[in-house]
């Protein structure tokens, strides 16, 4: 067994021990195929008000500009599919935001993995990334053999669908690299057909500026009246394209206590959400990703849903 093979085996075993769903490796190099796709997506303004997507174009495509001397991208998946769900007659929150903010939960595990690599293998330098830097995480997960890109632009696996977070370690260590898996979407268009705002404009292309997640989280202005009655009761994020995907029949609930929700999140009715106070918001979402939209943002979303419920 070569050094690169042995190192990859050691890292994957530790990632599994830390609770990651899967782990794959790819060579840290310029993403030549992605460059024109990203440029076209930005030029067509599919990022809406997410101006940060325009920044660091070169870094998004080349991990060696993020981590000098980088040789490998280690991609990891972490399950967030819950065992309990919100009641039917409620305003909805995306499942990834049920528990504590994934950025902190997963970053801690990634740092442990990097420390383990340094202890077991030696003088290895790198950085950890959890959806917080200009890294095209879905592309790297795909290149690392962790799944294929679904038509809804989420990474899919046969075994567990798509309800997981993607994270990376970019390191200056050569490893044995995995190969991409084949696409298993076939002729299915369930996600495209089900999207309430027709944000999936072509297979594998999502117009972010039309997505309910974008409106309810990223957009800071008033919600556009043109989409009144189309939000399908989502007050934070949206899971429709994943919920209808046949591969998500195989989703299994996570084993991460930090992702378990406050009971009120599961049990509140629409009336109770409408009466939400700043104090209760802080209690329910104390360490949650929902804090990104802030109390005022969530109230704005709820008001928009309530005012347009009969449209």
Distance CA 210, CA 201 (A): 9
Distance CA 200, CA 94 (A): 18
Q: DSSP labels for 18-57?
A: TT-SEEEEEE----TTHHHHHHHHHHTTTTTT-GGGGTTH
The pair of three-digit structure tokens given for residue 202, joined into one six-digit string: 């072509």
Indicate the SS3 state at residue 212: helix
Cβ-based neighbours of 193, under 8 Å, separated by 6 or more: 244
Assess whether 131 carries a catalytic annotation. Answer: yes
Of 290, 295, 289, nearest in space to 102 by CA: 289
Which is catalytic among the residues 89, 101, 123, 131? 131
Active site residues: 131
């Amino acid at each position: 067994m070569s050094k690169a093979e042995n190192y990859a085996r050691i890292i994957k075993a530790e990632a599994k021990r830390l609770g990651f769903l899967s782990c794959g490796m790819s060579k840290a190099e310029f993403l030549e195929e992605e460059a024109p796709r990203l440029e076209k997506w930005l030029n067509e303004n599919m990022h809406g008000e997410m101006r940060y997507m325009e920044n660091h174009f070169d870094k998004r495509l080349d991990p060696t500009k993020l981590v000098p001397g980088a040789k490998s991208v280690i991609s990891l998946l972490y399950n967030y599919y819950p065992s309990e769900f919100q009641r039917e007659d409620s305003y909805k929150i995306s499942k990834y935001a049920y528990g504590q903010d994934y950025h902190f939960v997963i970053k801690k595990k990634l740092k442990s993995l990097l420390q383990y690599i340094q202890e077991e293998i030696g003088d290895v330098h790198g950085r950890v990334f959890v959806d917080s830097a200009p890294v095209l995480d879905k592309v790297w997960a795909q290149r690392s053999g962790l799944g294929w890109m679904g038509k809804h632009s989420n990474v899919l696996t046969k075994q567990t669908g798509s309800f997981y977070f993607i994270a990376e370690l970019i390191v200056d260590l050569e490893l044995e690299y995995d190969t991409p898996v084949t696409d298993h979407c076939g002729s299915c268009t369930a996600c495209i057909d089900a999207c309430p705002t027709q944000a999936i404009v072509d297979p594998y292309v999502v117009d972010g500026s039309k997505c309910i997640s974008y409106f309810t989280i990223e957009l800071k202005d008033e919600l556009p009246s043109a989409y009144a009655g189309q939000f399908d009761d989502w007050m934070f994020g949206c899971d429709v394209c994943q919920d209808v995907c046949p591969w998500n029949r195989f989703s299994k609930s996570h084993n991460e206590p930090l992702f378990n929700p406050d009971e009120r999140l599961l049990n509140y009715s629409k009336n109770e959400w409408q009466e939400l106070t700043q104090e209760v918001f802080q209690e329910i979402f104390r360490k949650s990703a929902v804090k990104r939209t802030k109390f005022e943002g969530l109230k704005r979303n709820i008001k928009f849903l309530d005012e347009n419920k009969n449209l």
